[in-house]
Amino acid sequence: MSGDDDDDASLSAQFRRQRTALVVIGAIGILLIGFAVGVLARIPLDRNAEPDPSSVDIGFSQDMSAHHAQAVDMAGVALIGSTDNDVRRLAYDILTTQQAQLGRMQGWLQLWGEPMQNADGYMGWMTEPTGGHGHSGPASTADHPMSGPMPTMPGMATNAEMTALRQATGPALDTMFLQLMLRHHQGGMSMIQYAAQHAETTAVRSFASTMETTQRGEAQLMTTMLATRGAPPLPVT
C-alpha cells in the first residue's frame, strides 16, 4: 500500500507541474499575441491620421505594463492554487486579458523607441490640467494630477503580500486573491481614467476607456464575491 501511495503522490506532483507549465506557456503565447496586436495597431493606413505619442501615452504604457505584470502574477497564483471554480474563472479572465493588454502596450513602446519602464519613478506623466485634448468629462480621480514621479503605484501588493498569497491555500487563498486584486484594480483606476482623457493618440485613449469598463465590471464582481465570503475589501494605498 505504501508503494501505491508513493506512486499516487508522484503522479499528483507531476500533474501539478504539467498544469503549471501549461499555464506559463499559455501566458507567454498570449503575451506574443498581444505584442503582435500592438505592432499592427500602430501601423495606420494614413500615417498622418495619428499624432505622435505624448508623455501621457508613453508614461501610461510604461506604468500600466508594470501594474498589469503584477496582476498577471497574482492571477496565475490563483488559477493554479485555487479549488474554487468561480475564483479560477475570474483569475483566468484577468490573466488572459491583462497579458494581452500588456503585450499591446509593450508593442507600442517598442515602436515608439521608448524604454519599457521609466527609471525616474511612476505616474510623473499625470501632470496635465483637466480638459486637455478636448476630453472633458465627469469629475474623477483623473482630475487630480500628480505633483511628480512616485516610488510606487496605488494598489500594488507588497513583496510580503505576494509571498503570503503564494503560500496560502484553500479559502484563505481565494479571499486573499480577491482582496489584493480588487485593491489592485481600484488603485490603477486613476491612471486609466487619466489616460482615457489626456492621451494624445486615439489608440491609447480608446484602449484606456475599454480597460476602465472591463476593470469596473471585474471590481464589482470581486466586491460581491468578498461579501459572499464575509470578507471586507482592503483600503487602497
Instruction: Give dist(CA 103, CA 32) in Å, integer.
Output: 6
Q: What pTM was estimated for this model as a whole?
A: 0.77
Distances (CA, A) of 142 to 125, 149, 204: 12, 15, 15
Residue 87 has pLDDT above 50, yes or no: yes
Q: Where are the domains positioned within the chain?
A: 14-228
pLDDT per residue as tens digits for the range 168-204: 999 999 999 999 999 999 999 999 999 999 999 999 9
What number does CATH give the domain 14-228? 1.20.1260.10
Among 119-123, 193-197, 215-219, name the one with the lowest average pLDDT: 119-123
pLDDT at 37: 47
| Residue 128 pLDDT class (50, 70, 90 cuts) | low
- Average pLDDT (220-237) is 97
User: What would the mean pLDDT of 44-58 be, rounded to a whole number?
Assistant: 75
Could you give the percent of the chain with pLDDT greater than 90? 67
- Does pLDDT of 28 surpass 90? no
Which value, in Å, is the radius of gyration of the alpha carbons in the chain? 20
